[in-house]
Amino acid sequence: MQSDLSDGEPYEGKEQMHLRVIKMSSLAEKAPTQVTSYKLSHRTLIVVLEGVLVAIEKQLISFGIDETLKVSKLQLEKGLLQQFDDYVSILNADILDIFVDWHFKLDKSVITFILKPKE
């Protein structure tokens, strides 16, 4: 497992966010082979995970069942991400919304956090 903390600008709580996302991914499927994140603004955080698909997911994708898989993974992963209640202490912000999407052929997922910074 590699957590690339050099990509993107450093931000408060970067390492802890990587650990949270790795934990969620481990619960949902498996730990990613690489995590990269970018804080685009004080309200937008992007996290990219690589190498998260397990063999059964790859098989379902090869059968063309990717849309059903995407809906299932979305509900599962977003629910797991919302369970963590320590975002305020990690990012000094509340999470207003979370968006998750995948590029199955590249075995990547992208998580977008919409933040409300604490002042």
List domains and CATH numbers for the chain. Answer: 2-117 (3.30.565)
Q: 18 CB contacts (<8 Å, ≥6 apart)? A: 3, 5, 35, 37, 47
Do residues 63 and 108 lie in contact, with contact meaning Cβ atoms separated by under 8 Å? no
Do residues 81 and 111 lie in contact, with contact meaning Cβ atoms separated by under 8 Å? yes
Each residue's pLDDT tens digit, 76-106: 998 888 887 788 889 999 999 999 999 999 9
Q: What is the pTM of this model?
A: 0.88
Each residue's pLDDT tens digit, 4-42: 444 667 898 999 999 999 999 999 889 999 999 999 999
Closest CA to 49 of 22, 69, 26, 67: 22
Over 60: is that where the pLDDT of 3 sits? no
